[in-house]
Amino acid sequence: MTWQSQQLPADHPSVKSGNVGVLVVNLGTPEAPTAKAVKVYLKEFLSDRRVVEIPPIAWQPILRGIILNTRPKKSAHAYSQVWTEEGSPLAFITKAQAEGLQERLGGQVKVEWAMRYGKPTIADQLQKLMDQGCDRILLAPLYPQYSGATTATVVDKAAEKLKAMRWQTSLRTLPPYYDDPAYVDALAADLGAQLDALEFEPEVLLLSFHGMPQRTLDLGDPYHCHCRKTARLVEAAMGKRGGMRYVTTFQSRFGPAKWLTPATDTTLEDEAKAGTKRIAIAAPGFSADCLETLEELVIQGKEQFQEAGGEDFAVLSCLNTSVPGMDMLEQIIRRELSGWT
């Protein structure tokens, strides 16, 4: 008998330590496509000071008095258009990515998934990994491009959990991978194959990234630069494809402040008005299809393009659990685990 097993309870962390954990994290999504559930989700999301950088004394009355009384109904309708039997696409795709990674990484590495807002929470899933004996955990926010509103807030939330622990697990974070050849090559291969399978040849491929307030760029957030670099590298890796033009845009504007430009919606209209008839859109900044791709691009984007005179329109899928996407995730995660496994 070892000293430990004589002195310590069987569930003490030192008794079953030695495993490595990976926690993949994405943004989060409501529990149901209802106004009530969307309100709970938006309250948590939009109260994050990394997301809305307005002092709470000024922001909270606007959030609680106006936004949470109007937006949930509208957003719930949008969610109901993309909801599936398996639930919200963002949640079930993130879960499937974690399960795929678990299979690829083998039993010595425990993989779990969490959402920054909503469930399963980062705190609960970190605890789950620690309960499985993980004393070294790789936190993997699935955002290729870094921003304070996405990557940093995931790290903040994990740190909040560690802050309450006497005996902390060791934590590493997956760096942003916006210019990683594994990511760029996965996108080039996957988008190229999807374009080959279309029934038309697009004149333009929009690379649409989620937007951010312009102010975040002015304050030094690297997100805009990361998006631009991804777009440049993807274009170089995909090549000319018969003269197809690549255009980078930013979608999902929220609130009255100036957001990064050019905007995806106005670009779709401008392209159609300028005579572009055939267009495809990819959303390389989203690891998984979600409301912003399946509703905003697939449904609203199509309307915007065709009402302005455009004809053929396609939205390409995100990397999701595609073979190039999973190969890429496995590669960048294995690299971060080196020395630990």
Task: Determine the Cα–Cα distance for residues 273 and 271; give it in Å rounded to an integer.
Answer: 5
Instruction: Assess contact for 87 and 192: CB atoms under 8 A.
Output: no
3-state secondary structure of 141: strand
Number of Cβ within 10 Å of residue 72's Cβ equals: 22
**CA-to-CA dists, residue 151 to 96, 180, 336, angstroms:** 21, 16, 16
In the complex, the residues that contact ligand L6N33NVT under the rule CB under 6 A are 27, 29, 51, 71, 75, 88, 90, 143, 147, 149-150, 210, 212-213, 252, 254, 285-286, 290-292
**Residue with token string 């040849």:** 201
252 binds Fe ion (CB under 5 A): yes
R_g of the chain computed on alpha carbons: 21
Q: How far apart are the first and last CA of the chain?
A: 27
Among 52, 249, 296, 326, binds Fe ion (CB under 5 A): 296
Residues making up the annotated binding site for Fe(2+) are 210, 292
Nearer to Fe ion, 112 or 296 (CB): 296
Q: Which sign does the torsion angle of CA 337, 147, 82, 68 carry? A: positive
Which stretch, 57-65, 187-195, 199-207, 289-297, contacts Fe ion (CB under 5 A)?
Answer: 289-297
Provide, rounded to whole angstroms, the least separation between the CB of residue 149 and Fe ion: 8
Task: Determine the Cα–Cα distance for residues 135 and 128; give it in Å rounded to an integer.
Answer: 12
Nearer to ligand L6N33NVT, 147 or 276 (CB): 147
Nearer to ligand L6N33NVT, 150 or 248 (CB): 150
Length of the chain: 341
Provide, rounded to whole angstroms, the least separation between the CB of residue 75 and Fe ion: 8
Provide, rounded to whole angstroms, the least separation between the CB of residue 39 and ligand L6N33NVT: 10
Indicate the residue whose CB is closest to Fe ion.
252
Provide, rounded to whole angstroms, the least separation between the CB of residue 271 and ligand L6N33NVT: 23
Nearer to Fe ion, 79 or 177 (CB): 79
Residues making up the annotated binding site are 210, 292
Nearer to Fe ion, 29 or 320 (CB): 29
Contacts 24+ apart (CB under 8 A), 39-44: 39/68, 39/72, 40/118, 41/117, 41/118, 42/67, 42/68, 42/71, 42/72, 42/75, 43/68, 44/117, 44/118
Provide, rounded to whole angstroms, the least separation between the CB of residue 254 and ligand L6N33NVT: 4
Binder of residue 332, out of Fe ion, ligand L6N33NVT, none (CB less than 5 to 8 A by kind):
none
Nearer to ligand L6N33NVT, 8 or 225 (CB): 225
Binder of residue 314, out of ligand L6N33NVT, Fe ion, none (CB less than 5 to 8 A by kind):
none
Binder of residue 212, out of ligand L6N33NVT, Fe ion, none (CB less than 5 to 8 A by kind):
ligand L6N33NVT
Task: Determine the Cα–Cα distance for residues 311 and 118; give it in Å rounded to an integer.
Answer: 39
Nearer to ligand L6N33NVT, 114 or 290 (CB): 290
Provide, rounded to whole angstroms, the least separation between the CB of residue 89 and Fe ion: 13
Task: Determine the Cα–Cα distance for residues 284 and 235; give it in Å rounded to an integer.
Answer: 12
Residues near 193 by beta carbon (within 8 Å), at least 6 away in sequence: none
Q: Which residues of this chain interact with Fe ion, rule CB under 5 A?
A: 252, 292, 296
